[in-house]
Amino acid sequence: MPPVKKAVKKRAPPKHKLPEPLKPGEVLTDNMKRQWKVGGAVGQGGFGLLYAASPNGPGSVGPNAEYVIKIEPHDNGPLFSEINFYLRTAKQDMITDWMKAKKLKHLGVPKYIGSGSHEGKSRLRFMVMERFGENLQKVFESSGKAFSRRDVDMLAVRLLYTLEYLHDHQFVHADIKGSNLLLGFTKGTQDQVYLVDYGLAYRYLPDSGHRDYKEDPRKAHDGTPEFTSSDAHKGVPAARRGDIEILGYVLLQWLCGQLPWEDNLANCDYLRDQKIKYLKNIPSLLKACFPKGDCPDEVRKYLEYTSALVLNSSRYKERPDYDYLRGLFTSALKKAGSKDDGKFDFLAAKPKSGKKAVIKSSTDDEVQSPKRARSASPKKKPAPKQKAAKRRSDSSEASPPPRKRAAPRKKVVKRTVDDSDSDSPPPKPKTARTKKAAPSRKAKSPASKSPKSKAGAAKRGRKARALSTIATQTSPGLMARGRLSNGT
């Protein structure tokens, strides 16, 4: 019998709590004694909150503030790790010097601004950062879950420079994904991409030397499931090759829309086995992602390089060949007759998404104004139309209308007769005549046989004048309605 495997106790995930919210206008002082005024909340993560911020001064913090402050309770750990990363690797002079050496105009590593502690309702840790715009995951989804090949090639070149910088400064990111890639916010940076969220950043090269390859199931599966590296699935300390593998999965998803193992993201062991299976057989991976066989050649070569680097444990400490990998994508751009001008296709297509944003904002207005939304409801519009149609059909029928509807018609005829009579007396006698006219019409025959008095002759004279006036001054349609209402 095969030996029974012992169940491994996995490390319990750390429990992080959200901090107490800050009030707009509150002032925080960083470790350099600089003061920062807090504005409105602009985001929330799994362990912290983000607020717009500006250097302390008169007035409130506006919606276009160029800084954000990230806070978490002092007992939490991720922001502490992130601050430690920024202090070691992301000081402005360090980034500037490296960019000059590489002859770069842009590097997607956020610059460290400041950090400190704040005593409020509870003790908080905070960090001041540059403010960024939309993340690439949202852009990817709004683009129909597909980026153009040109966009992917340009993004790959930028991200490989970013990873090389991090690795040269002894850290790996370990959680590369679209939602951690943000566009710039301030003018002149809106077409630049920054890699953020260093909560899982790991110092693979401490002073004692490179970490050793050692599998630890208790530490397995750290990261975002669909992109987690093979080493992380096994609990091996993060290394440079893990970032290269993760980036490959991200590029692949941007091109084909979905990775073949996304059907069961809750099963981490399944994800590990699927990734290793496909790394051993890159053609099968490309066939699963590109059934029509239209996989870009540069992506195929990138994944083949990654496979050879990841599957060989002896290459765990090896420095990736960043120049070779970048060359794959720059050569592809040249062959396609394109150049890396920094103008992404998904940014050029933003006006279309802008129209959608207008629609969404109008919907939000309706939600905020319930009365307006109800008045525009399609369910209540047909009701009055149906009633109006019934009234029109009733008035067009040849049969006499109901008594309640006939009453207004008689009044219309009587008003027409009275107004057209040039000899009509003042309003008070007119009302009396109107009341007496109705019974005289109903009992027309008996009245002709009754004795004629002077009052009766006067009534008949007025009636004759009224009928002659109708005949000469009213339309045929009104005459017809007058005959129907008089019963003649």
Q: Which residues are annotated as a binding site?
A: 70
Dist. CA 151–CA 162, nearest whole Å: 17
Would you call 182 exposed, middle or buried from its count of C-beta atoms within 10 A (0-12, 13-18, 19+)?
Answer: buried
Angle (CA) 207 212 213, round 5°: 155
- Paired tokens of 413: 């005829």
- Annotated binding residues for ATP: 70
List Cα–Cα distances, 484 to 198, 395, 413, 417, 421, in angstroms. 89, 12, 11, 15, 21
- One-letter identity of residue 78: P
Of 245, 231, 251, 80, nearest to 155 (Cα)? Answer: 251
The label of the residue with tokens 């300390």 reads 237
List Cα–Cα distances, 432 to 308, 356, 404, 419, 487, in angstroms. 110, 68, 22, 15, 21
Dist. CA 460–CA 470, nearest whole Å: 15
> Sheet containing 67-73: which strands, arranged edge to edge?
27-29, 35-44, 49-55, 67-73, 123-130, 114-119
Dist. CA 177–CA 196, nearest whole Å: 10
Residue 313: how many other CB atoms lie within 10 Å = 10
* Catalytic residue (choose from 30, 151, 175, 222): 175
Residue 97 annotated in active site: no
Distant-in-sequence contacts of 349-352, Cβ < 8 A, 24+ apart: 349/143
Dist. CA 232–CA 95, nearest whole Å: 28
Active site residues: 175
